[in-house]
Amino acid sequence: MHDPHNERMSGSETRAAGGLALVFAFRMLGMFMVLPVLATYGMDLADATPALIGLAIGAYGLTQALLQIPFGMLSDRIGRRPVIYLGLLVFAAGAVLAAQADSIWGVIAGRILQGAGAISAAVMALLSDLTREQHRTKAMAMIGMSIGLSFAVAMVAGPLLTRAFGLHGLFWTTAGMALLGIAIVGLVVPRSNGPLHHRESEVAGKALLPTLRHPDLLRLDLGIFVLHAVLMASFVALPLSLVENAGLPKEQHWWVYLTALLIGFFGMLPFIIYGEKKRQMKRVLSGAVAVLLICELFFWRFGGSLQALVFGTVLFFTAFNLLEATLPSLISKVSPAGGKGTAMGVYATSQFLGAALGGILGGWLFQHGGLGMVFLGCAALCALWLVFAVTMREPPYVTSLRLPLPPAAARDAGLAERMLKLPGVADAIVVAEEAALYIKVDSEQLDRTSLEREINAAPAC
């Protein structure tokens, strides 16, 4: 029997996944390249204060959080491409506004406008439209990798580009990358046959309330909120610590971030493998949060020398990379059948809100209490998260599947109930309007033949 799961991705699917991963990467580069440089170079701008620098760092998160889910829903109505083009143009306009600014207020306005180009949900939905069921996870993973890679590149490229072209040049580069993203969507990404309604990649209105009431999903939303708040706040203080406490000129900061990111990336891999293979993801998550807390206390107490700051930054990025990779995987495991798209929408909103709060809080704490107060504030946030992380239940080790149903099976009221009796099926829901079955399965226990037999045995009516 021909198994579609052994097929390779088609040429058009590879182009779709590769093209959209590049669009994501360019946009994230533009967001993150200012992180390592704004605290040091931004103080030269008119009206700059530490609190306003913090606001400029986190400002994009406010508009991203507000518009993330509405833009995704708009793309269901008017099409994915118009929303993506509009979002990238708004993002480019924000970068141009920031590039032409002579005061910190202009940079803040530019960052707010950049964030208004909230296209993540529309890009993910277009990816679902252009890839078949059996390759969707692989395509989503390509986008996930592009986000991680763009963050790493941004940490190194930001200081190098700013050294060469100044803060204005950095924002002009960002605007250029947004326009390049438009060209990629227009010329590389294949056309789709129209929106494919798919609960694994879009927000479903009916699933929103259960998602907001789910205790373990809320713990994970708090986690990504704190993680990005701590990241943004730390980058108000860390670049300044390297200059003031360690005497490292701002033009040389790139090698610290490059070292930390490379070691951090390879350092996290054994923990991810251990967590998945041994089914100990809760232990890995709680351990990484504890390491993040220790890092912030270490920066506060021992961050007076270059060696200490480099060591702390390496440890920080090992824990950060591990958490950044682990949290979406846990959302996927914990979310109910057919609720992953909605859970990811709420999760992304929490992430951007965290980034906004972290920048604002970091700048305010620095202005009123100095560098040490920023690190202590971050440590307090990590301690709060740790309390919620250790009280989380061990997540179910399940995979989400979406199976198209024949018409008779889609009308079968008892199908989901019968599915739940099969070994290895943790959750199941039939969405009649999509003629699809969403199930969560433990692949080590699932008997695929019984699953297919149950679907095909649906009574004709």
How far apart CA 320 and CA 104 sit, in angstroms, is: 29
How far apart CA 399 and CA 334 sit, in angstroms, is: 10
- Other C-beta atoms closer than 10 Å to the C-beta of 4 total 9
- Other C-beta atoms closer than 10 Å to the C-beta of 386 total 18
Contacts of 449 (CB under 8 A, 6+ apart): none
Instruction: Sort residue 435 into left (φ over 0), alpha (ψ -120 to 50) or beta.
Output: left
Q: Where are the alpha helices (DSSP H) in 100-191?
A: 104-116, 120-130, 133-187
Mean confidence (pLDDT) of the chain: 89
DSSP string across 211-228:
HHH-HHHHHHHHHHHHHH
Long-range contacts, stretch 5-10, CB < 8 angstroms, 24+ apart: 5/134, 7/134, 7/135, 9/131, 9/135, 9/138, 9/139, 10/132
User: pLDDT tens-digit profile of 414-455?
Assistant: 888 888 888 888 888 888 877 888 888 887 787 777 777 777
How far apart CA 121 and CA 192 sit, in angstroms, is: 16
How far apart CA 385 and CA 290 sit, in angstroms, is: 9
**pLDDT at residue 407 in the model:** 81
**pLDDT at residue 358 in the model:** 97
Q: What are phi and psi of 105, to 5 degrees?
A: -65, -35
User: pLDDT tens-digit profile of 84-118?
Assistant: 999 999 999 999 999 999 999 999 999 999 999 98
For CA atoms 43, 45, 48, 54, the dihedral sign is negative
Exposed, middle or buried by CB within 10 Å (0-12, 13-18, 19+), for 461? Answer: exposed
The band of 460, judged by pLDDT with boundaries at 50, 70 and 90, is low
For the cut 80, the answer to whether the pLDDT of residue 181 exceeds it is yes
User: pLDDT tens-digit profile of 136-164?
Assistant: 778 877 887 888 888 889 999 999 999 99
Please name the amino acid found at residue 259. Answer: T
What's the CATH code, domain 399-456? 3.30.70.100
Please name the amino acid found at residue 134. Answer: Q
**pLDDT at residue 2 in the model:** 36
The band of 4, judged by pLDDT with boundaries at 50, 70 and 90, is very low
Contacts of 170 (CB under 8 A, 6+ apart): 33, 34, 37, 158, 161, 162
- Name the least confident of 38-47, 173-182, 198-207: 198-207
DSSP string across 36-85:
HHHHHHGGGSBT--HHHHHHHHHHHHHHHHHHHHHHHHHHHHH-HHHHHH
Q: What is the mean pLDDT of residues 284-301?
A: 97
How far apart CA 92 and CA 460 sit, in angstroms, is: 54
The band of 458, judged by pLDDT with boundaries at 50, 70 and 90, is low
Instruction: Sort residue 402 into left (φ over 0), alpha (ψ -120 to 50) or beta.
Output: beta
The band of 293, judged by pLDDT with boundaries at 50, 70 and 90, is very high
For the cut 60, the answer to whether the pLDDT of residue 235 exceeds it is yes
CATH fold of the domain at 11-390: Growth Hormone; Chain: A; (1.20.1250)
- Among 110, 107, 120, CA closest to 69: 120
Ordered strands of the 399-404 beta sheet? 399-404, 436-441, 425-431
The band of 368, judged by pLDDT with boundaries at 50, 70 and 90, is very high
Contacts of 273 (CB under 8 A, 6+ apart): none
More confident call, 64 vs 436: 64
Q: What is the mean pLDDT of residues 292-306?
A: 95
Cα Rg of the chain, angstroms: 23
The band of 6, judged by pLDDT with boundaries at 50, 70 and 90, is very low
Domain locations along the chain: 11-390, 399-456
**pLDDT at residue 384 in the model:** 97
For the cut 80, the answer to whether the pLDDT of residue 130 exceeds it is yes
